[in-house]
Amino acid sequence: MTSERATMIIDKDFRIGEVDPRLYGSFIEHLGRAVYGGIYEPEHPEADEQGFRTDVLELIRGLQVPIVRYPGGNFVSGYDWKDGIGPKDQRKKRLELAWRTVEPNQVGLNEFADWARKANTEVMWAVNLGTHGVEEARSIVEYSNHASGTYWSDLRIEHGYEKPHAIKTWCLGNEMDGPWQIGHKTAEEYGRLALESAKVMKWVDPSIELVACGSSSRAMKTFPDWEATVLDHTYEHVDYLSLHQYFSNRNGDTPTFLARSLEMDDFIHTVIATCDYVKAKKRSKKKMYLSFDEWNVWYHSNDADKKIAPWQVAPPQLEDVYNHEDALVVGCLLISLLKRADRVKMACLAQLVNVIAPIMTANGGPAWRQTIFYPYLHASLFGRGQALVPLIRSPKYDTKEITDVPYLEAVAVHNEERGEVTVFAVNRDLERTLPLQVDLRSFGGCRLIEHIVLEHDDLKAVNTQAEPDRVKPHTNGGAIVSDSAVEARLAKASWNVIRLKVNG
């Protein structure tokens, strides 16, 4: 507990880096009800002519999601993309080994590209480097991106898509360091395969960007040697290295749970150091950027998932019901990503609908926003521009696992085009309000647009189909702006968005 004040100084010239809009990406995998019953449900009363749920599309468009990773995830390492193209009545049903379900292949590459256009987003496609390899990688790029005059491009045209999909961003497999992965490989094996796949993919389309698999989490025994070995092979042929990490509160220790974003910080810093080591080793002029393309809170559904019978189509897997404290952690994780916007250029909240997701649906029924929807929404809408270095003084606390945890987690983003500065802030104190002063000396005069607050007296409060608005933000935060300073009182256990208009 604390009654001390926190202070924050931001200067428009002390920049971390430009925020790539793709930092607010997401992820849809052929897992559980993410696709079937999530984005796609032909029998739903609000389904469009292709079977996509328009109520879900409306929520996603509201989030302004810039890119969506697809079709996996662990799913992709056993997936043959050719099963998902051509006439739907001729597509094969397959046993899906990663999640022990049946995949009907009614949504595939072309349908997802259509959905992405409707959702105002781009596709980040993951290729199968588990059971498939170089030929898989080459042919799918040709099918997707080559104009015409070849077997694969003409087959796409035959399937009704005259114009190429022009998919720009491609993942070279998924979590290949994990023993659970179909086709798991050593770093040496994967590095060689990723290199050869990258070469042919860019020969087909030199305009694409490639993401190499980093470690599945910072807890992997092979971390960070995996990164060093993989980059030793691929450094000059890929554009991004991936990071994955999920966070939980299985033991009910909320103060530690709220501090987990410090572990994300450490993970990012270690990967950057490894990238820069390989750069120095190779005497390269190229800077490696990061794609944190799986991150979220995930643990609520673990016990329920163990009871699901195998070999069903779209069973309710990984359907975490998120509470208020989860939303605070997601807010802290978003702040961590913004604090390294100079190197983390893409990130994917995993996932988007039903499966550990900000959006939930009922089959045949409504869609609603989970608690974590709101910090994700606010960051996506207001966190675009230049991320600024946050000079923070805050009282701190210790937990059994993590020490020197600041009660204030915060960052600011300057959108020069709109003439706005936005401060994102979490008060980790579970019992007391945290007074905050923000010094905006370099901006001259400012005025308050709004102070959005997400708070709730019950940390375990959730949104459900019956009570979809139990946890939702309000705009009565009460921040006061006096010329070039902001005074605010951050409610206990709260997520705050303080939006400011720069005068002049």
Query: Which tens digit of pLDDT belongs to each residue from 19-78?
Result: 999 999 999 999 999 999 999 999 999 999 999 999 999 999 999 999 999 999 999 999
Measured in whole angstroms, the distance separating CA 53 from the mean position of its chain's CA atoms is: 22
pLDDT at 2: 47
pLDDT at 136: 92
DSSP state letter for 432: S
Asked whether the CA dihedral 454, 458, 463, 467 is positive or negative, the reply is: negative
Q: Which of 211, 200, 204 is nearest to 164 (CA)?
A: 204
Exposure on the CB side of residue 270, measured as CA atoms within 13 A:
18
pLDDT at 3: 57
Structure tokens at 502: 């720069």
Map out the domains of the chain as residue ranges: 6-10+388-502, 20-215+240-254+290-366
Burial of 262 (0-12, 13-18, 19+ CB in 10 A): middle
Catalytic (active site) residue 29: no
- Which ranges in 340-447 belong to alpha helices (H)? 373-382
∠ CA 421-423-425, rounded to 5°: 175
Cα Rg of the chain, angstroms:
23
pLDDT at 483: 78
Confidence at 503, pLDDT banded by 50, 70, 90:
confident
Distance CA 299, CA 312 (A): 22
Distance CA 393, CA 180 (A): 43
For residues 213-241, average pLDDT: 98
Q: Would you say 288 and 344 are in contact if contact means Cβ atoms under 8 Å apart?
A: no
DSSP 426-440: EE--SSS-EEEEEE-
Asked whether the CA dihedral 475, 480, 482, 487 is positive or negative, the reply is: negative
Measured in whole angstroms, the distance separating CA 131 from the mean position of its chain's CA atoms is: 26
Tokens 């959730």, residue located: 462
- pLDDT tens per residue, range 413-425: 999 999 999 999 9
Structure tokens at 69: 């990773």
CATH number listed for the domain at residues 6-10+388-502: 2.60.40.1180
pLDDT at 143: 98
Confidence at 153, pLDDT banded by 50, 70, 90:
very high
Q: Which of 96, 103, 142, 294 is catalytic?
A: 294
Pairing of strands 94-96, 101-103: antiparallel
Q: Which of 244, 259, 369, 252 is nearest to 299 (CA)?
A: 252
- pLDDT tens per residue, range 45-60: 999 999 999 999 999 9
- pLDDT tens per residue, range 272-297: 999 999 999 999 999 999 999 999 99
Q: Which of 111, 175, 227, 319 is catalytic?
A: 175
Structure tokens at 342: 């100079």
CATH topology of domain 20-215+240-254+290-366: TIM Barrel (3.20.20)
Helix axes 373-382, 324-339, angle to 10 degrees: 30
Distance CA 63, CA 24 (A): 9
What number of H helices and E strands is found in the chain?
Answer: 11, 25
Q: Which of 503, 357, 385 is nearest to 63 (CA)?
A: 357
Catalytic (active site) residue 294: yes
266 Cβ contact partners less than 8 Å away, ≥ 6 residues apart: 218
Q: Which of 121, 19, 139 is nearest to 70 (CA)?
A: 121
Determine the 3-state secondary structure of 355 from DSSP: coil
